[in-house]
């Protein structure tokens, strides 16, 4: 028998494989039809598992969306952080962090809004939820770091300012009023607000 596995058991492998199938199925279906128009049954069928099994891997449909999308947001944050380093002025650097996240969120508007809803109103003890919150935390840290870096003369606590920026992003992306906005317009809208927080 060839040495196929590092991890000890078949159990672990099966579990991982199932999780992969679920992730793949959900990713595909959510992308094509939107969270709201996909039933958990469809996902289970596509992943070729029983109805109940699905909920062993994600306790709710919302958690399932977080599971599927967290990686994208983490990547967006990564890109934004890198871009920000190349930019001198604070506002520009902050927007460099903001933009990829907004783009990620708007890949599919309904899914994006659902994601935000889950983040704020979902159960924070669930694993994928807390992963999402962690990404938000890292985003705020990245922004705070930019503000600190640029010595903004102690207008206020950088962490608090970052928190406000986070709130601005959330509400701007989630608001139904903005649901029709193009990405660029939304980014501009957010920029206008943030510019009040970062004096020149």
Partner DNA sequence: ACTCATTATTGAGTCCAGTCAGTTTACGTC
Partner DNA sequence: GACGTAAACTGACTGGACTCAATAATGAGT
Within the chain, how many helices (H) and strands (E) appear? Answer: 9, 0
- Do the Cβ atoms of 183 and 91 come closer than 8 Å? no
Which one among 46, 166, 183, 191 touches a copy of itself, defined by CB under 8 A? 166
Which one among 156, 184, 185, 188 touches a copy of itself, defined by CB under 8 A? 156
What minimum distance in Å lies between the beta carbon of 191 and a copy of itself?
11
Any contact of residue 170 with a copy of itself (CB under 8 A)?
yes
Question: Which residues ranging from 98 to 127 are in contact with a copy of itself (CB under 8 A)?
Answer: 113, 117, 120-124
What minimum distance in Å lies between the beta carbon of 13 and a copy of itself?
35
Helix (H) or strand (E) holding 63: helix 61-85
| Interface mask toward DNA for 1-40; x: CB under 7 A | -------xxxxx-xx--x-------------------xxx
In the numeric block, the tokens 């944050």 are attached to 77
For residue 115, what are its two tokens? 């994601």
Region of residue 39 (phi > 0: left; psi between -120 and 50: alpha; otherwise: beta):
beta
Rounded Cα–Cα distance for residues 109 and 122 (Å)? 19
Q: Which residues contact 89 (CB under 8 A, 6 or more apart)?
A: 150, 200
Pick 30 or 98: Cβ nearer DNA: 30
For residue 139, what are its two tokens? 């985003």
Which residues of the shown chain bind DNA in the complex (CB under 7 A)? 8-12, 14-15, 18, 38-41, 49-53, 55-56, 59-62
Which residues of the shown chain bind a copy of itself in the complex (CB under 8 A)? 113, 117, 120-124, 133, 155-157, 160-161, 163-164, 166-168, 170-172, 174-177, 192-193, 195-197, 199
């Amino acid at each position: 028998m060839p040495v196929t596995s590092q991890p000890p058991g078949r159990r672990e492998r099966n579990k991982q494989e199932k999780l992969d199938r679920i992730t793949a199925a959900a990713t595909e279906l959510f992308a094509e039809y939107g969270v709201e128009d996909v039933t958990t049954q469809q996902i289970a069928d596509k992943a070729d598992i029983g109805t109940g099994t699905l909920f062993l891997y994600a306790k709710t449909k919302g958690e399932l969306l977080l599971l599927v999308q967290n990686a994208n947001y983490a990547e967006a944050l990564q890109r934004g952080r890198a871009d920000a380093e190349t930019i001198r002025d604070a506002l520009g650097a902050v927007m460099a962090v903001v933009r990829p996240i907004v783009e990620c969120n708007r890949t599919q508007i309904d899914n994006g809004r659902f994601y935000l809803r889950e983040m704020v109103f979902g159960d924070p003890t669930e694993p994928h939820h807390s992963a999402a919150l962690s990404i938000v935390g890292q985003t705020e840290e990245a922004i705070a770091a930019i503000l600190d870096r640029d010595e903004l003369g102690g207008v206020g606590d950088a962490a608090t300012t970052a928190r406000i920026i986070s709130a601005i992003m959330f509400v701007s992306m989630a608001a139904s009023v903005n649901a029709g906005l193009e990405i660029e317009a939304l980014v501009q809208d957010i920029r206008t607000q943030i510019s009040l927080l970062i004096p020149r």
